Amino acid sequence: MRLTGSCHCGSVRFTVESAQPVPFMRCYCSICRKTAGGGGYAINLGADFNTLAVTGKRHLRVYRAQMSGTGSSSQQSSGHRHFCGRCGSALWLWDPTWPELVHPHASAIDTPLPTPPSHVHMMLGSKAPWVEVEGRAGDACFGQYPDCSLAEWHAARGLSSPSAAVSETAG
Ligand SMILES: [Zn+2]
Ligand SMILES: [Zn+2]
């Protein structure tokens, strides 16, 4: 599925091919909450980094969070959180650990996204006390990272979006 996204002020616009466009994964970690989750969590999608096309690149800024380490040293998050330097909208996360992937924030996407049949709630151990976990009975909940990837969740439910090439062939 081809996704079109933008920041609020319109300085940055992008398109990307996504095989995992269902906005089901809610992350309650402090970074998502502070940078992209006014309601207490952020929703990331899965997409193909090599198809990411951006206009307004000069307005892009990257935030790399400082993680409080267990020892004397704190370390920098490998996640590169891209946002608009003019309006502050959170746009996507890219991590060199998985360079072929990019994770757009659902909030930055203008294309109508599929409604998720269920949700996964992750990083609940970092949830702020005021945040209510609003989900459905049977939603999977994890204190830290979930036991399935975005791709595995979509595949298990038959919700993976075919690539553009496949849908064009299918007519
Ligand atoms: Zn902007
Ligand atoms: Zn998070």
Distances (CA, A) of 5 to 22, 105, 107: 15, 9, 9
Closest listed ligand to the CA of 142: 2
Here the tokens at position 38 are 């006014």
Distance CA 93, CA 37 (A): 14
Q: Is the pTM for the entire model greater than 0.85?
A: yes
How much distance in Å is there from the Cα of 61 to the middle of ligand 1?
Answer: 10
Torsional class of 138: left (φ above 0), alpha (ψ -120 to 50), beta (otherwise): left
| pLDDT tens-digit series, residues 107-140 | 999 999 999 999 999 999 999 999 999 988 889 9
Residues with a beta carbon under 5 angstroms from ion ligand 1: 7, 9, 11, 84, 86-87
Q: What is 2-66+77-156's CATH number, 3.40.50.2300, 2.40.340.10, 2.170.150.70, 2.60.60.20?
A: 2.170.150.70
Closest CA to 35 of 78, 69, 80, 96: 80
Closest CA to 42 of 56, 59, 23: 23
At 169 the pLDDT is 42
